[in-house]
Amino acid sequence: MSTICALSTPRGVGGIAVVRVSGEQAINICAALVRPIKQRLEQVGSNRTVFAKVYDDEKTLDEVMVTVFRAPHSFTGEDTVEISCHGGIYITERLLTLLLAQGCVMAAAGEFTKRAYLNGKLDLAQAEAVIDLIHARSPLQARNALGQLDGRLSRKVSALRAALCEIGTEIMAYVDYPEETIGEIDEASITQRLSQNATSLEKLLRSFDMGHLIREGIPTAIIGKPNVGKSTLMNALLGKDKSIVTDIAGTTRDTVEESALVGDMVLHLMDTAGIRETSDTVEAIGVERARAAAESAALVIALIDGSRPPDDEDKAILSIAKEKRSILIINKSDLPQQAELTDLAPVIRLSAKNEDGLEALHQAIRAMFKTETVEGESLNNLRQRQAVSEALVLVQSALSAMESGLGADMAGLDVTSAAEALATLTGESVREQMIEDIFSRFCVGK
């Protein structure tokens, strides 16, 4: 395999930049350019960092720190050299040019991680976690990706797969050699174990929705009748004046969208027009959009004004919220309170204007999404979901074959195929094209 090189830090001006070289010739190629002060690069021990100079035609190009990783003790599993040089465009480009002249080739997007996978350092689910970790924007996203990188999802899926393989083997042994199998096949036990596994697969499948939300950000609609303080809350959550706030009912007409880190999650906030009956054509379109936003959201934050007794318009809002995963906010807690609502939970009293009580909102959101997910064990992308849903369909088909007395041989084939479908998740058996697709989503240098 060729020896690859790339800039692993963002292109541009910075304190330092890291150029990574990986492959059989990594150390030899670098040794021609990078000279440590006290010894030759070839003599530097594994996982050691030393001070060195980079030479460009016998003139010093830069003073660097260079780290040598010897196979298999590196990220890629190959000999790897990481050169931490000064972070400038000229220096990094010149260094890469010199490396290419010495026989390196430029790494393709995700090639370092792809090699880590091909060399058995990571399985496919872990490799995907590397992309998620790089793109994480919230602590929860990062922890989830880190859990997956640590192999939590892989272990869970491997355990399920092993259980299915065992059932499959048992059935097939009986079907192929009925006379040698001790006793009758225990159909009741097989059916029970199959349905247990189906339940686990269903649960895993449900975790996709949550994993996906955590990874992509939670579409969140802020709804309420006019003037309850939706835009004020939106601005408080964003930490800037994005939405226009006035005391005129019907200020917000179009949906205003922006992402924000709320607590430890990314929310895609949608501030909406106040929902009410109106004859104004423009406002009516805004109200329609508000309803659509609530409909499409994964979380609805419904507001009412605590300083006024709730009316029919508020009740209409509550009934929209009831249909969704929602949090009810009684706003304007700084004013004398008139709204008493205890039938809906969770209810949070806060003052959006004074930004008083926002922490309780953060906690409610956190509690709502955290209890439903185990960090690092959720399915995070469509590929993973596809593998699990294929396995589930096959297990269900095996179950109905067993229950209808259609024959153990049918069930055996289905269970074995289900185990194979799960194997694609961790990459124990995948097509070449799938590997290409996954790693092309990476950035160069990773």
Ligand X SMILES: Nc1nc2c(ncn2[C@@H]2O[C@H](COP(=O)(O)OP(=O)(O)OP(=O)(O)O)[C@@H](O)[C@H]2O)c(=O)[nH]1
Q: List interacting residues with ligand X (CB under 6 A).
A: 224, 226-232, 245-247, 249-252, 273-274, 331-332, 334-335, 351-353
In degrees, rounded to 5, the angle at the alpha carbon of residue 158 between the alpha carbons of residues 72 and 113 is: 35
The Cα-based distances of 394 to 11, 208, 412 in angstroms read 47, 19, 10
In the complex with ligand X, the residue whose CB is nearer, 163 or 352, is: 352
Among 22, 154, 252, 397, binds Mg ion (CB under 5 A): 252
Cα separation, 358 vs 386, in Å, equals: 38
Residue 150's binding partner out of Mg ion, ligand X, none, with CB under 5 to 8 Å set by partner kind: none
Distance CA 260, CA 138 (A): 10
Q: Which does 153 bind (CB under 5 to 8 A by kind): ligand X, Mg ion, none?
A: none
The smaller minimum CB distance to ligand X, of residues 302 and 402, is found at 302
Q: Which does 424 bind (CB under 5 to 8 A by kind): ligand X, Mg ion, none?
A: none
Which CB, 105 or 318, lies closer to ligand X? 318
Please state the closest distance from residue 317 (CB atom) to ligand X, in A: 11
φ, ψ (nearest 5 deg) of residue 337? -95, 140
Task: For Mg ion, give the closer residue by CB, 272 or 333.
Answer: 272
The rounded radius of gyration (Å) of the Cα atoms in the chain is 29
Residue 102 interacts, among Mg ion, ligand X, none and using kind-specific CB cut-offs from 5 to 8 Å, with none
Q: Is 126 in the site for Mg ion (CB under 5 A)?
A: no
> Which residue's Cβ lies closest to ligand X?
274
> Containing H/E element for 194?
helix 187-216
- Distance between CA atoms of 359 and 229, rounded to whole angstroms? 17
Token pair of 348 as six digits: 């949070």
**Whole-angstrom distance, CA of residue 311 vs CA of residue 308:** 9
Q: Which does 232 bind (CB under 5 to 8 A by kind): Mg ion, ligand X, none?
A: ligand X
CA distance 399 to 410: 10
Least CB distance from residue 368 to ligand X, whole Å? 22
- Is 144 a binding residue for Mg ion by CB under 5 A? The answer is no
Complex with ligand X: residue 16 or 244, whichever CB lies closer: 244
State in angstroms the smallest separation of the CB of 340 from ligand X: 17
Question: Which two structure tokens, joined as six digits, stand for 314?
Answer: 């508020």
- Nearer to ligand X (CB atom), residue 213 or residue 222: 222
443 binds, among ligand X, Mg ion, none (CB under 5 to 8 A by kind): none
Binds 351: which of ligand X, Mg ion, none (CB < 5-8 Å by kind)? ligand X
By a kind-dependent CB cut-off of 5 to 8 A, residue 228 interacts, out of ligand X, Mg ion, none, with ligand X
220 binds Mg ion (CB under 5 A): no
DSSP assignment of 59-112 equals EEEEEEEEEEE-TTSSSSSS-EEEEEEEE-HHHHHHHHHHHHHTT-EEPPTTHH
Choose the contact partner of 446 out of Mg ion, ligand X, none; CB within 5 to 8 A by kind: none
Residue 235 makes contact with Mg ion by CB under 5 A = no
Q: What x-and-dash track marks residues 180-219 binding Mg ion by CB under 5 A?
A: ----------------------------------------
**Nearest approach, Cβ of 360 to ligand X (angstroms)?**
14
Nearest distance, CB of residue 164 and ligand X, angstroms: 52
Judged by beta carbon, residue 102 or residue 251, the one nearer Mg ion is: 251
DSSP letter at 46?
A: T
Q: Which residue has the tokens 């070839």?
A: 42
Under 8 Å CB-to-CB from 445, ≥6 apart: which residues? 6, 7, 8, 9, 20, 107, 112
Contact status, residue 349 vs residue 183, Cβ threshold 8 Å: no
Q: Using alpha carbons, select from 93, 96, 60 the residue that is nearest to residue 52.
A: 60
Residue 331 touches which of Mg ion, ligand X, none (CB < 5 to 8 A by kind)? ligand X
Pick the binder of Mg ion from 231, 331, 397, 426 (CB under 5 A). Answer: 231
* Residue 331 makes contact with Mg ion by CB under 5 A: no
Rounded CA gap, 201 and 384, in Å? 12
How far is residue 18's CA from residue 222's CA, in Å, rounded to a whole number? 43
Choose between 8 and 227: whose C-beta lies nearer to ligand X: 227
For residue 19, give both structure tokens: 């150029």
Contact between 272 and Mg ion (CB under 5 A)?
no
Residue 326's binding partner among Mg ion, ligand X, none (Cβ under 5 to 8 angstroms by kind) is none
Which lies closer to ligand X via its Cβ, residue 88 or residue 250? 250
User: For Mg ion, which is the closer residue by CB, 3 or 231?
Assistant: 231
For Mg ion, which is the closer residue by CB, 151 or 274? 274
Strands 347-349 and 265-271: unpaired
**Measuring CA to CA, which residue among 221, 216, 320 is closest to residue 273?**
221
Contact residues toward Mg ion (CB under 5 A) are 230-231, 251-252
